[in-house]
Structure 1
Amino acid sequence: MSLSATESEGVMSPLEQYASYPFSSDEEYQNGLASIIAGGALDNDPPDDIREEILRRTRVFYFNRVTGSAIGMDVAREYEHSQRRTGDSALAGPSHSVVEPVSSGPDSDPVVLSFAQLQALIEAGKADQIPNNKIIPEDLNDAPPSTSAAPARKKPWEQATEQTA
C-alpha cells in the first residue's frame, strides 16, 4: 500500500479523520444517537452486524455533516473492517467506549448517558450507577384495593326520569 502525498506530509485523509473522530465524547452526536435509538431504530434487538451497520450510518452521516467530507458508506465500512483486521484500535465507535462511573450530586445538572455508556454499565453489573434508575420489585402489590369514592354512574333511563321529575 503506497501513501498518497497528503498522508506522507502528515495531513490526515478523510478516512483517517473519520477513524479518529471522537464520536463517544461528541455530545451533539450522542444526543442525536439517543434520539434515533429512542425512535426505535434498534428495537427488536437486531443482529450485531445490522446493529453495527445502523450505527455506522449515523457516524458517517454526522461526520460528513460536521466536516463537510463526502465519505461513502461502502468506503467507511471497508476502512473499518480493514482496521479491525490489522488490529488498529484507532477506530472506536460508540459501542467501544469506556464508561466511567457516573455520579451526580443534588446541585449538578442531570447526567445524560449515551446508549453505549448505558450498555457498558448494564453489562458490567453496575446498574446502580445509572442515574434515575429505579428498582421495581417483582412482587405483586400486597396492599388491599382502594374503595371507590365516586357514586355509581346513572343509567340513561334513570337520567330521563330525573329530568322529567
Structure 2
Amino acid sequence: MEPATAAQRIFEEFDSYDFDSDQAFQQGVKSISNHENAQVLSKAKHFYYSKIKGAFDYNAYLQWKAEKPKNEQPDEVDEASMVPGAPYSAPFAEVVRKILNNEPFDDIRQIPEQLNENPPSVSTAKAPKKPWEQD
C-alpha cells in the first residue's frame, strides 16, 4: 500500500469529520431549503469544512471517493435521513431534481427574451395640465 498523499489525508479527515455533533454546522444546514438532496448536503459540508479546517478541491475529492475501493469506504449513511423533516414528498423531490438538472417545468410558461414586434399604440388621451398652467 502506498503512503497517503496530503490530498488523500485531507479527504479521509473530511470523510470522518463528525458533522452530526457540530452544532454550528447543524444550525447552518437548517437554512438550506432543499437539504434532503445528498449532493446539496455534501456541498454544504464541503463549504463548512473548508471554512473551519482548510479548503480542498471538491471535484478531486469526489473523484477520490469514486475510485476508493468499496471495502475501504465506511458504511454509507443516507445523508437525507440525518436532517430533521426529511425525506420530503415525491413531488417536492421531483422539483429539486428538475432544478438541479436544469430541466424545464411543465406548468410554467416560457416567455421569449425579445421585444414585441407589433407597432406601438397611439395615445388618444389629452395630456393633463401642468400645475403652473391655468384654465
TM-score (norm 1): 0.41
Q: Which has the higher helix share?
A: 1
